Structure 1
Amino acid sequence: MRTAPDLTVAITATDRASLDRQLDEAVDAAITRAIREGRQGILVTRHAHDSFTVALSDDVPFGQTLEHQD
């Protein structure tokens, strides 16, 4: 999947509360950017139980968020 290099947030957390907070913040930032640009959706990729990336993606339709297991 292609992602926009200008908005990719890597998240690694040591506890669930921190992970949830960081994911929420990253997705909120991606939503704000996606609305402003109006052309990409949001891709949330899980790399491990404690590691995720959140990015804008040309492969995700605008207005949608897709979760992907790496």
Structure 2
Amino acid sequence: MRPQLTEHSEVIVTAPELLHELLTKAEAALRLTAMARGNAGILVTRHDARHYTLALDDAVPFGETYERSLFEPPKRKRHGP
């Protein structure tokens, strides 16, 4: 029986100290599919402080992992003149 290959993964971080571990595991699972396909890299997208998606992307060169952020932290209000 062949292992099931995934082309995308969603990561919800419930504790900041788990961020690296969760993203590393999700990327490793996608890397197996990327190796089998041989024509796409991995795109990691940060949607907000806790929500990430990882997906195979033909625009990312094979063997590479690119990151992008759709999350813009709130701007601090300036006090004073």
TM-score by length of 2: 0.73
Q: Which has the higher contact order (CA 8 A, sep 6+)?
A: 1
Instruction: Indicate the RMSD between aligned Cα atoms, in angstroms.
Output: 1.1
**Higher strand proportion (structure 1 or 2):** 1
Sequence identity, in percent? Answer: 37
Structure 1: unaligned runs, 5 residues or longer: 1-5
TM-score by length of 1: 0.84
Structure 2: unaligned runs, 5 residues or longer: 1-5, 71-81
Q: Which runs of structure 1 show a deviation greater than 3 angstroms over 4 or more consecutive aligned residues?
A: none
Which region of structure 1 is more displaced relative to structure 2, 10-19 or 27-36? 10-19
Distance (Å, rounded) in 2 between the aligned partners of 1:69 and 1:9: 16
Distance (Å, rounded) in 1 between the aligned partners of 2:27 and 2:16: 16
